[in-house]
Amino acid sequence: MKLKLMGLNAGVVAAAVALGACYTEEPEAQCAVARAVSDGSTGSFAATFTLKAEEAHPDRPCTQLTSEPVGLQKYFSREPAAPDTVAIRTARMGRLTEDFEDRVSSESAGEPYAVGALASESPGPDNFCDVPELSVSRLDVPAANELPAQSFAYEWSNLRIYNTPEIPGTQFVADLRYTENGCSAEYSVKGIWPVVRCATGGEPNEELCDPYPNPDKGRLRGSGINPLFPVKCDPVALICVLTGEVPSESKP
């Protein structure tokens, strides 16, 4: 009987070890998109728009995009076999939609959000989650009385969201073709979460972008920006934006 008990105990131990191995195995990382509320909206990223090529006429309306908040949101598919999607919309498109709401109908205005499917559930070897193709974000405004028709379109592509434990879906890069009333220009776009305002008395204040508190200057809290992100206060948009090279681009 004693030998049987010893054998039973050994079996229990072996089973426990096997179960422990199962539970300690790390789950596969999932593509995440930062979505905590920031700057009054869900998933706000501080984005910079850089023209891809020198424009012959830099004063054209389509070449005037500057730094602004951009909203991203991940949507989980109800169908197990279907990929999850990501939606993106600029703050400017949101304002335009509100400005022209009396002249457009929901059926003809277009969709202010661009939506695309994630290429995979998990980040790739370079830690990016890719959304290679997205629908067009568009606003078409008909002529009214003596007011001319207006059209605005954001054609996003190559949306890539960086995912690591240090940068968990809080940084993105993308390409953009922006069209305004027939004028088109192409941009490279970079964004980081969260949106942090950096104005004091209407003037840029670089200290407000500092991720670390400074009690000596009365700042008991940091900006909330990841210290890995090199940032500055954009003098026009008055939000903290990326500067120079992004860590994830130089060290994938």
* Dihedral angle, C-alpha 139, 140, 143, 149, nearest 10 °: 80
Residue 188 lies in a domain: yes
Is 52 inside a domain boundary? yes
pLDDT for 75 equals 94
Whether residue 177 lies inside any domain: the answer is yes
pLDDT for res 43: 61
**Cβ proximity of 16 and 37 under 8 Å:** no
- The residue among 24, 59, 7, 44 whose CA lies nearest residue 239 is 44
Kindly tell me if the per-residue pLDDT of 20 is higher than 80. Answer: no
Round the average pLDDT of the chain to a whole number and report it. 84
Does the residue 58 lie in any domain?
A: yes
What's the pLDDT at 41?
Answer: 52
pLDDT, residue 247, reads 57
DSSP H/E element including 10: helix 2-24
pLDDT (tens digit per residue) in 185-238 = 999 999 999 999 999 999 999 999 999 998 887 778 899 999 999 999 999 999
In a domain, 240, yes or no: no
Q: How confident is the model at residue 11 (pLDDT cuts 50, 70, 90)?
A: very low
Per the structure, the count of domains in the chain is 1
Cβ 87 vs Cβ 73: under 8 Å: yes
pLDDT tens digits for range 152-166: 999 999 999 999 999
205 belongs to a structural domain: no
In this prediction, residue 70 carries a pLDDT of 95
The one-letter amino acid code at 27 reads: P
Please tell me the predicted confidence (pLDDT) of residue 19: 42
Do the Cβ atoms of 88 and 70 come closer than 8 Å? yes
73 assigned to some structural domain: yes
Model pLDDT, residue 56: 63
Cα-flanking dihedrals φ and ψ of residue 124, to 5°? Answer: -80, -175
E strand segments, the chain = 37-38, 41-42, 44-51, 68-75, 85-90, 114-117, 128-133, 137-141, 150-163, 168-180, 183-192, 199-200, 203-204, 231-233, 240-242
Partners of 192 in beta bridges: 46, 171
- Domain assignment of residue 141, given as a range: 37-195
Residue of higher predicted confidence among 70 and 15: 70
Give the pLDDT score at 28: 74
**46 in a domain, yes or no?**
yes
Query: What pLDDT does residue 18 have?
Result: 45
Other beta carbons within 10 angstroms of residue 135's beta carbon come to 14
Summarize the confidence of residues 68-79 as an average pLDDT: 93
φ, ψ dihedrals at 78, nearest 5°: -80, -20
Q: Is the pLDDT of residue 132 over 90?
A: yes
Is the four-CA dihedral 74, 122, 225, 198 of positive or negative sign? Answer: negative
